[in-house]
Amino acid sequence: MNVVFHPRYLEVYASNPAASPGRLEAILEELRHLPFVEPEAASEEDLLRVHTQQHIESIKHDRHLFEVASLAAGGAIKAAEIAITGEPAFALIRPPGHHASPDHCWGFCYFNNIAVALAKLKAENKIRSALIIDFDLHFGDGTANIFTSGPIVYFHPSSHSRKDFMTAIAARLERESGYSVLAISAGFDRHVEDWGGELTTEDYTTIGKLAKDAAERNCQGRRFAVLEGGYNHRVLGRNVKAFLEGLE
C-alpha cells in the first residue's frame, strides 16, 4: 500500500474540523510503517476538467488555501496514477473534496480531488470508466454533480442502519462490472465514536476487503482511495489503518 502525502497537508489553512491540527498527525502515527510518496500540485488544466474558471478564481483569492487545495488534488492524481499500475494507493490529503461541484463548494471542500484525478486519467486515455464508492457519512453532492452520467459512476449508500449500509456496499460492488479502476471516497465520520455513530473499526476492514476483491475481479486490482471526512482524532488513525489493511 502506497500512501500519498505531502508535509504541506499539515498546514492549517482554514478554521474548520477538516483543517484542525492533529487530524492528519493521528493518521500518520498509524501508517508510519507504509511507504510514502510525495505528490505535486494539480495544474490549472487539471482543475479545469471538472471546475469552472470562475470557481478556481474564487479559491485563488486565498493564496494559501489555493496552494494547499491544489496540492490535495495533486495527491489524488498521484494515487490514481499509482493505482493504474496495479498497486493500491491511499491519498492522505486535505482539504477533502466530495462536496466540491463544478462551480461551487461547501462542507470543508474546495476542489473535488477524486473527480480531478479520474478526469485526468480519462482525458489521457488511461482509463475508459470508473466506479466511485463513497462511504463518508455525508452524500458527496459535488462528485454526483460532476459525474451526472456516463462512464464514471458515483455511489453513496442510502441507509438507516449499519446492517443496511454494509449490505448496500457489498451488493453494489458485487453488481458493478466493466470499470477500469475503483476509486473510493474514504470518510470515517460514520464511526461509532464519530459524528455518525454507526460503523465499527472492523467494518472499515470489511469495506476495504470488499473493495479489494471487487477490483481484483473487475479491473486487474486497480484501486485507490482518498481521505474525506473523519473528525474524532482519538479513533481516526486506527480506522484508516483498519480500512487500508482490508484494501491491501
Is the pLDDT higher at 111 or at 160? 111
Q: Which of 99, 138, 156, 191 is catalytic?
A: 99
- pLDDT at 18 exceeding the cut of 90: yes
- pLDDT at 149 exceeding the cut of 90: no
Residues 6 or more apart whose Cβ sits within 8 Å of residue 143: 97, 98, 112, 114, 115, 132, 134, 154, 185
Give the mean pLDDT of 202-224.
Answer: 98
Give percent above pLDDT 70 in the chain. 100
CATH 3.30.70.141 is held by the domain 2-247: no
pLDDT (0 to 100) of residue 82: 98
Which residues in 29-107 belong to E strands, given as ranges? 36-37, 89-91
Q: From CA 194, how far away is CA 179, in angstroms rounded? A: 32
Residue-wise pLDDT tens digits, 45-84:
999 999 999 999 999 999 999 999 999 999 999 999 999 9
- pLDDT at 158 exceeding the cut of 90: no
Give the mean pLDDT of 1-16.
Answer: 97
pTM: 0.97
Task: Name the 3-class secondary structure at 191.
Answer: strand
Instruction: Reply yes or no on whether 51 is catalytic.
Output: no
Give the mean pLDDT of 8-30.
Answer: 97
At 198, the pLDDT band (50, 70, 90 cuts) reads: very high
Residue-wise pLDDT tens digits, 107-147:
999 999 999 999 999 999 999 999 999 999 999 999 999 99
pLDDT (0 to 100) of residue 159: 81
Q: What is the mean pLDDT of the chain?
A: 97
Residues 6 or more apart whose Cβ sits within 8 Å of residue 210: 169, 170, 173, 246
Q: From CA 119, how far away is CA 43, in angstroms rounded? A: 13
Q: From CA 244, how far away is CA 217, in angstroms rounded? A: 18
Strand order in the sheet with 36-37: 36-37, 2-4, 89-91, 223-227, 181-186, 130-134, 152-155
Q: Which three cell numbers stand for residue 188?
A: 470515517
- pLDDT at 165 exceeding the cut of 90: yes
pLDDT (0 to 100) of residue 115: 98
pLDDT (0 to 100) of residue 154: 98
Q: Which three cell numbers stand for residue 199?
A: 460503523
pLDDT (0 to 100) of residue 38: 98
Query: CA nearest 200: which of 208, 192, 211, 212?
Result: 192
